[in-house]
Amino acid sequence: MDMEEEDLYEILSIDRGASSVEIKKAYRKAALSSHPDKHAEENRAEAEARFKAVQQAYDILQDDQKRHMYDTHGMAAFKSGHGAGAGAGGGVDLDDILAQMFNMGGGGGMPPGMGGMPGMGRRGPAKGPNEEQAYEVTLEELYKGKTTRFASTKSVICGTCDGSGGKEKAKPMKCSNCGGKGQVIGHRHTPFGLMQEASQCSNCEGTGQVFKDKDKCKKCKGKRVVQTKKMLELYIPRGSREGDKIVLQGEADQTPGQEPGDIIFELTETPHEVFKRVGADLAATIDVTLAEALTGFNRVVLKHLDGRGIQISPPKGKILRPEQVLRIEGEGMPMKRSDARGNLFLMVNIEFPEDGKLDSAAIEKLRNVLPGPEPPIKTEEVEEVEYDGDANMEDFGAGSDDPRGAEWEDDEEEDGGPQCATQ
């Protein structure tokens, strides 16, 4: 899509006089409707182009300086080499990198020792802190995708005083606690001696100014912000993984003079009773009776994450063996922004009959059907012994100083039992 041929205001379906709030609201609506994950495969390329166009339109129109340049010169203002407009093309902003490296706050100043380097000041308002939290999701939700709405309580700039904290025409006073600097100097004992450190003034909350009680805004009581509830929508694409982050841009607490930070949800996958996941592959254990393993079957062996029954029928004459692994192509997890899927690995567990379940007649029939024993081992002397049928290899070499016993234990721990062979 050529950005020069389509009006940015038309892309977001807003008027040229739209406010910043209207621009943000239109952007969220357009971004959600054009998101590639919400379109069929054959329409995904077009949706991705539209999604990028929406993002670029928002990046320009939400910034007052870029918006003015666009209104004056159109998209020509953002061609390479056209002065300040070059930043709209999505290039790296050195000021943003420095701000992240040195944790620059509302003052936007350089860290101590770097001085006032020309041209290094932040052009726009500093961004407020992000709010990060874990969000638990089930494997089923990651398999199918999920959209949820929730109420968020956050601080927003007081609309009565526009974030000043005072009544109309009221004049603030210099904060007596910090002398109007917004910061106070404290002392802290360290291994290197007594050190000075600056912290935000709690009396004026870093503004350096306060209002008399009678001059404070009646709605926010001089705090400049009020608490409000807002409904937010969280969209988790199908195929998302543990550790993925879902970002709600600009939805953190508002502070006057700062761009609001983001709410960031980090996905935490809850353990599943049946499936284990690694990447886009799934693994599960299926129970098969000894009779089924020997003679075959045709049945549903497990219920998939979307509720489908997975039915298998081993080839006639094919015997299943303990700890055998069956791989089913394309029945693993979906991959984000793609119709491809991982594989499903089924580990076979053979259920043997309980002790005493077979009577003499059944035992005799099995002996006649199954292969006979190996040829007898010939020795000059034979001793019949008793054995413990519930022994554990962890007892092998236990209590000895032979290092080979430790090697056996290490192998057991590393192996962790039968493994799924990824192919």
* CATH number, residue 34: 1.10.287.110
Whether residue 90 is contained in a domain is answered as no
Whether residue 329 is contained in a domain is answered as yes
Q: What pLDDT does residue 410 have?
A: 54
pLDDT at 237 over 60: yes
pLDDT at 215 over 70: yes
CA distances from 81 to 68, 70, 88, 375 (A): 18, 15, 12, 88
Q: Of 80, 115, 134, which closes a domain? A: 80
Whether residue 190 is contained in a domain is answered as no
- What range does the domain containing 73 cover? 1-80
Q: What pLDDT does residue 88 have?
A: 42
Whether residue 10 is contained in a domain is answered as yes
Q: What pLDDT does residue 352 have?
A: 92
What CA–CA distance (Å, rounded) separates 258 from 78?
Answer: 25
pLDDT at 160 over 50: yes
Weakest mean pLDDT among 124-128, 250-254, 405-409 = 405-409
Whether residue 23 is contained in a domain is answered as yes
CATH number at residue 344: 2.60.260.20
Whether residue 100 is contained in a domain is answered as no
Evaluate whether 9 touches 18 at the Cβ level (below 8 Å). Answer: yes
Mean pLDDT of the chain: 81
Please compute the mean of the pLDDT values over residues 181-203 and round it to a whole number: 81
| Angle CA 156–98–185, to nearest 5 | 70
Whether residue 269 is contained in a domain is answered as no
pLDDT at 382 over 50: yes
Please compute the mean of the pLDDT values over residues 159-171 and round it to a whole number: 90
Helix axis angle for 20-34 and 44-61, nearest 10°, is: 170
Please compute the mean of the pLDDT values over residues 323-348 and round it to a whole number: 93
Highest mean pLDDT among 25-29, 96-100, 404-408: 25-29
Q: What pLDDT does residue 74 have?
A: 76
Q: Where are the beta strands (DSSP E) in 191-342?
A: 193-200, 209-210, 225-236, 245-248, 263-269, 276-278, 281-289, 299-303, 309-312, 325-328
Q: Of 80, 97, 114, which closes a domain? A: 80
Q: What pLDDT does residue 418 have?
A: 47
Q: What pLDDT does residue 324 have?
A: 95
Residue type, 252: A
CA distances from 68 to 19, 26, 225, 240 (A): 13, 19, 29, 39
pLDDT at 84 over 50: no
Q: What pLDDT does residue 96 have?
A: 43
Whether residue 204 is contained in a domain is answered as no
Of the chain, the percentage scoring pLDDT greater than 90 comes to 39
What CA–CA distance (Å, rounded) separates 56 from 143?
Answer: 31
What CA–CA distance (Å, rounded) separates 332 from 238?
Answer: 12
pLDDT tier, 253 (very low <50, low <70, confident <90, very high otherwise): very high
pLDDT tier, 412 (very low <50, low <70, confident <90, very high otherwise): low
The closest alpha carbon to 252, from 345, 322, 157, belongs to 157
Q: Of 58, 80, 102, which closes a domain? A: 80
The closest alpha carbon to 239, from 282, 284, 280, 274, belongs to 280
Number of domains composing the chain: 2
